[in-house]
Structure 1
Amino acid sequence: MNETEIRQALLISMQRALWGKIYPSVRAVAVGFEDIRKLKVICYLDREPREEDYENLSEVTAEVCADIDFKEVEEHCVYAVKPFSQLDNLASWVYIRKEE
């Protein structure tokens, strides 16, 4: 797969994998990749991360890896209060919460 094909497949897979996985503390989810060698996902929260946040994110990335055979996965849950424009969106946002 070329980069465009990976990006398209990844964004579709992430959208499906996130069904039922977004809860009130999740502010945003960013995704990036290095070919099919590495998948990187950042889940931004409005509070300090807990074990269940990492478990939830791990379930999401496992579903993505069932669709696309990434060799390595990097997952981060991050407490962030900065505006979205100041956060790292990697290659793309896959979820952003509406905030006032």
Structure 2
Amino acid sequence: MKDIEIRTRLLISMQRALLGMIYPSIRAIAVGFNKTEKLKVICYLDREPIEYDYENINDITGEVCSDIEFVKVEEVCVFNLKPFSKLDNLDSWVYIRQEKDTADLLV
């Protein structure tokens, strides 16, 4: 399978897998892949990760792996408050929450 086909299938699969799985502590989710050899998912949080975060990301990657058979899966949950432009988005962002300060909207 070509990389473009894998990327397309991965993004569609991630979109489906993320339905109902996003909660307020998640700032962003990035995905990367190396053919079907490896899938990597990074979940950026606004607090230190807890067991629930790892369970959630495992459920998400499990859904993706039911669509695409990756040989290896790496799941990372990390606390990071840096601007999105300073974070590693691997191959693609699949989720980024809005973080504009609402005080800016009142002016």
Q: TM-score range by the shorter chain?
A: over 0.9
Runs of 4+ in 1 over 6 A off after TM superposition: none
Q: State the match for 1:93 in structure 2.
A: 93
Residue 26 of structure 2 corresponds to 26
Q: Name the SS for the 2:42 alignment partner.
A: strand
Residue by residue over 1:51-94, the C-alpha shift from the partner in whole angstroms, topping out at 9 and shown as x without a partner, is 00000000000000000000000000000100000000000000
- How big is the shift at 1:18? 0.4
| Percent identity over paired residues | 68
Work out the CA distance in 2 between the residues paired with 1:30 and 1:97: 12
Matching of residue 46 in structure 1 with residue 46 in structure 2? yes
Aligned residues: 100
Which secondary structure state, in structure 1, belongs to the residue aligned with residue 48 of structure 2?
A: coil
Specify every segment of 5 or more residues in structure 1 that has no aligned partner in the other structure, as ranges: none
CA RMSD of aligned residues (A): 0.3
